[in-house]
């Protein structure tokens, strides 16, 4: 997507260096960070400089390729296995991370060049799949629709285009009038900081809403459709996504608002029977207790926003059961969130 008239991806690799848009600095600063070694790329994933299922999948694939390039002649196998373990330990929930590492690990048994090619392929496929999700998802969006989304499942969360926002970009490009309600998505504010930044730069009308405003807006008929992304979809259609997604799905069902999940097949985990088997990441309490912002003089500060001395509990994701999901928008079409339809994505020639 374009930023200041230039095409960017959220993450890319040139030579042995991984380049990433620093998502911890957005929306106040647009900064590209370079990771020269796989350990630097791991650090970027762990600290959420790069985040979002597809983007951390691509970054993890590049990290695995970097490990092959860095491997010493003696003790190669041990080095590669340790690197794999380290990359997989960065974040537990998004399926794309494990999918990418596994593919690059296998390819690297041929040569480090094979590993790099595979990692680049994964990134290209992610961008292509996201674009196709936009084509299918656009069919759900009528002229004049208001769409609500949670967290950031835009192009920053993938390599390009995004998932939940890809249909919105497509609809806007096709000349439809669309309006987006952006959940702020506490505690890290991926909606308020990142989705809003993306939409602002794309010229798409939107407002940021407090996380607890969705029910009220839906009860007034102000939201036509809800589209969210996914960190992992289980074989039965259960969804792991940013904390708060479950609440939105329950509210959407209450007010008869269609609730769609946009996700590529690389996010679907056929080995995971149901949502109860998905590991939910618990992050540090400071993400809840402190907030970062910019003052009127342009200075960035991190400040305590809770009662001093109180502790916080910070689960990063929740599980939405399949029965609350209207459909899954994939790169191969829109499917029902059930085992048979999900399996058909991998077995039929789609």
Active site (catalytic) residues: 231
Q: Characterize the bridge pairing of strands 225-228 and 259-262.
A: parallel
Closer by beta carbon to ligand MRU, 117 or else 312:
312
Q: Per DSSP, which regions of the chain are E strands? A: 2-3, 6-7, 11-14, 17-21, 32-35, 146-149, 179-183, 206-209, 225-228, 232-234, 239-242, 259-262, 268-269, 290-294, 300-304, 317-320, 327-330, 333-335
How many CA atoms are closer than 13 Å to the CA of 141, on its beta-carbon side? 32
Closer by beta carbon to ligand MRU, 112 or else 314:
314
- Under rule CB under 6 A, residue 146 binds ligand MRU: no
Closer by beta carbon to ligand MRU, 239 or else 335:
239
Q: Characterize the bridge pairing of strands 2-3 and 17-21.
A: unpaired
- Under rule CB under 6 A, residue 153 binds ligand MRU: yes
Q: CA 183 to CA 181: how far, in whole Å?
A: 6
> Shortest gap between Cβ of 50 and ligand MRU (angstroms)?
9
* Residue number with the smallest Cβ distance to ligand MRU: 229
Q: Return the closest-CA partner of residue 337 out of 242, 218, 230, 247.
A: 230
At 6 the three-state DSSP class reads strand
- By CB under 6 A, name the one of 20, 21, 45, 52 that touches ligand MRU: 52
Binding piece for ligand MRU, criterion CB under 6 A, among 109-117, 121-129, 224-232, 252-260: 224-232
Site for ligand MRU in 155-214 (CB under 6 A): 157, 163, 190
Q: CA 136 to CA 334: how far, in whole Å?
A: 7
And the tokens for 202? 């794309």
> Shortest gap between Cβ of 269 and ligand MRU (angstroms)?
14
- Under rule CB under 6 A, residue 242 binds ligand MRU: yes
Do 333 and 341 meet the contact criterion of CB atoms below 8 Å apart?
A: no
User: What Rg do the C-alpha atoms of the chain give, in angstroms?
Assistant: 20
Residue labelled with tokens 């912002």? 293
Closer by beta carbon to ligand MRU, 12 or else 68:
12
Closer by beta carbon to ligand MRU, 152 or else 224:
152
> Shortest gap between Cβ of 243 and ligand MRU (angstroms)?
8
Do 239 and 319 meet the contact criterion of CB atoms below 8 Å apart?
A: yes
Site for ligand MRU in 69-98 (CB under 6 A): 94
Closer by beta carbon to ligand MRU, 172 or else 242:
242
Residue labelled with tokens 């003696």? 74
Do 280 and 317 meet the contact criterion of CB atoms below 8 Å apart?
A: yes
- By CB under 6 A, name the one of 61, 137, 189, 229 that touches ligand MRU: 229
- By CB under 6 A, name the one of 227, 316, 319, 335 that touches ligand MRU: 316
At 330 the three-state DSSP class reads strand
- Under rule CB under 6 A, residue 218 binds ligand MRU: no
Binding piece for ligand MRU, criterion CB under 6 A, among 26-34, 52-60, 70-78, 249-257: 52-60
- The binding track of 287-306 with respect to ligand MRU, each residue x by CB under 6 A or -, is --------------------
> Shortest gap between Cβ of 349 and ligand MRU (angstroms)?
27
Closer by beta carbon to ligand MRU, 51 or else 116:
51
Applying CB under 6 A, the residues found at the interface with ligand MRU are: 51-54, 94, 151, 153, 157, 163, 190, 229-231, 241-242, 316
């Amino acid at each position: 997507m374009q930023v200041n008239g230039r095409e960017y991806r959220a993450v890319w690799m040139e030579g042995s260096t991984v380049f990433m848009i620093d998502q911890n600095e957005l929306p106040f600063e647009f900064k590209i960070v370079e990771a020269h070694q796989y350990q630097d790329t791991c650090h970027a994933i762990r600290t959420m400089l790069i985040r979002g299922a597809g983007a951390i999948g691509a970054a993890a694939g590049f990290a695995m390729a970097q490990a092959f390039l860095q491997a010493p002649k003696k003790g190669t196998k041990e080095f590669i296995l340790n690197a794999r373990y380290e990359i997989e330990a960065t974040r537990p929930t998004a399926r794309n991370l494990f999918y990418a590492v596994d593919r690059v690990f296998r390819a690297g048994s041929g040569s480090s060049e094979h590993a790099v090619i595979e990692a680049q392929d994964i990134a290209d496929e992610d961008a292509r799949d996201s674009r196709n999700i936009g084509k299918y998802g656009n069919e759900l969006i009528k002229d004049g629709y208001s769409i609500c989304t949670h967290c950031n499942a835009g192009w920053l969360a993938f390599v390009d285009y995004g998932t939940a926002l890809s249909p919105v970009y497509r609809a806007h490009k096709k000349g439809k009038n669309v309006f987006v309600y952006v959940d702020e998505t506490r505690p890290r504010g991926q909606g308020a900081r990142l989705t809003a930044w993306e939409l602002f730069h794309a010229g798409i009308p939107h407002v940021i809403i407090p996380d607890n405003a969705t029910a009220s807006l839906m009860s007034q008929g102000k939201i036509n459709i809800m589209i969210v992304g996914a960190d992992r979809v289980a074989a039965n259609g259960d969804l792991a996504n940013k904390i708060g997604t479950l609440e939105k799905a329950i509210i959407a069902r209450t007010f008869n608002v269609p609730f769609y999940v946009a996700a590529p097949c690389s996010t679907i985990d056929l080995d995971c029977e149901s949502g109860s088997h998905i590991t939910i990441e618990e992050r540090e309490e400071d993400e809840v207790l402190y907030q970062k912002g910019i003052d009127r003089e342009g200075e960035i500060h991190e400040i305590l926003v809770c009662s001093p001395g109180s502790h916080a509990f910070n689960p990063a994701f929740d599980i939405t059961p399949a029965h609350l999901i209207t459909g899954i928008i994939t790169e191969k079409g829109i499917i029902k969130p059930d085992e048979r339809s999900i399996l058909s994505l991998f077995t039929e020639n789609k």
